Amino acid sequence: MLEQLESTYQEGLALLRDIRDSAALRDWELKYLGKKGAVTQMLRLVGTLPKEERAAFGKRVNEINEALTSAYAEREALVQQQELARDLEEGEIDVTLPGRARQVGGLHPATQTLRQFADIWAAMGFLVFRSRDVESDELNFSLLNMPPYHPARDMWDTFHTTTPGVILRTHTSPGQIHAMRQLGDNGSKPIRVILPGMVYRYEQMSARKEIQFNQVEGLAIGRHITLTDLKGTITEFLRRVFGADVRVRFRSSYFPFTEPSMEVDVRSDAVGKGGWLEVAGCGMVHPVVLQNGGYDPTQWSGFAFGFGPERITLLKHAIPDIRYFWGNDLRFLEQF
């Protein structure tokens, strides 16, 4: 038995040494190392041998298997090299043929805006804090001061899942609660974060409204934060996005989780003659929300905002329709 093994080994090595092309190499591999190859069959034999023979035979067949496998790899590299050299010499490969240009991808315009936002907010001292896209009804609404049956829930048309109480987040605001609970150390530390991410709404699509879009939420919590801090910070942010002469308008508004609340518009000719486009909602964090995040509202205050970066990208590039963003049309995407 061992003799037969040794002669298979020697024969295999000898044949391999004479191989000059990859077709013969493939045949050799099948013959020795393939599923039904000679070495493979001997490996299978090991289990059927009587105990006394098994150890010695098993050891040797494994050694031979390894030796032939590495001899094969060496030969394969050599044969490939020789074939390439032969092809070059015989002119089968035209090295003067121009190569195919590799397609270079680019960043999606929304991603570009998100990165620009993150840079600007970082320079103003805000960390990026990410939280989940799939939320509980409690975090998306109740802890933001909208208990069940609160009429303000109607402001966000919601995608529900088949699991009761689990929804796709309709805004990035539930991230405020996550951030306060994770970073606030039981309401004892100031916070400055932005919370970027995709949100989902079951609403009628239009040139300005998508059913999925990004938001960039912001949250600042401290001991003496006031409405002037909010207005100043947002105005400065918009100056850095659009340039120092941008015209910004704050309108009073209503959100259950801020009091007082405002909406922010930017003036732009891109949305009609001298039009204004709403780019964010904002306000002073409501005492109930501070409490739900673990803060004592008599000691702490804060502001929050939620920007729609796609809306801002529309303005910056005079894009006529928000539906281009997720339509996956390369003619649109390749322009950025």
Q: Which residues bind ligand FA5 (CB under 6 A)?
A: 171, 173, 201, 203, 209-210, 213, 215, 217, 255, 258, 261, 278-283, 304-306, 308, 310-311, 322
- Residue 72 or 141: the one with the smaller Cβ distance to ligand FA5 is 141
In contact, 263 and 250? CB cutoff 8 Å: yes
Residue 203 tokens, joined: 């609403």
Measured between alpha carbons, how far is 322 from 244 in angstroms, rounded to an integer?
26
- Minimum CB separation of residue 223 from ligand FA5 in Å reads 20
In contact, 37 and 28? CB cutoff 8 Å: no
Alpha-carbon distances, residue 97 vs 52, 80, 88, 93 (angstroms): 64, 21, 13, 9
3-class SS string, 185-224: CCCCCCEEEEEEEEEECCCCCCCCCCCEEEEEEEEEEECC
What is the enclosing helix (H) or strand (E) of 317? helix 309-317
- Residue 37 or 197: the one with the smaller Cβ distance to ligand FA5 is 197
- Residue 197 or 283: the one with the smaller Cβ distance to ligand FA5 is 283
- Residue 280 or 319: the one with the smaller Cβ distance to ligand FA5 is 280
- Residue 75 or 311: the one with the smaller Cβ distance to ligand FA5 is 311
Alpha-carbon distances, residue 150 vs 99, 154, 169, 186, 212 (angstroms): 64, 8, 17, 28, 24
Half-sphere exposure of 334 (CA within 13 A, CB side): 5
Nearest CA-CA partner of 256 in 133, 170, 137, 173: 173
- Minimum CB separation of residue 95 from ligand FA5 in Å reads 52
- Residue 72 or 255: the one with the smaller Cβ distance to ligand FA5 is 255
- Residue 89 or 154: the one with the smaller Cβ distance to ligand FA5 is 154
- Minimum CB separation of residue 249 from ligand FA5 in Å reads 13
- Minimum CB separation of residue 238 from ligand FA5 in Å reads 12
β-strand pairing of 191-200 with 127-128: parallel
- Minimum CB separation of residue 161 from ligand FA5 in Å reads 20
- Minimum CB separation of residue 179 from ligand FA5 in Å reads 12
Select the residue whose beta carbon is closest to ligand FA5 and give its number: 308
- Minimum CB separation of residue 102 from ligand FA5 in Å reads 34
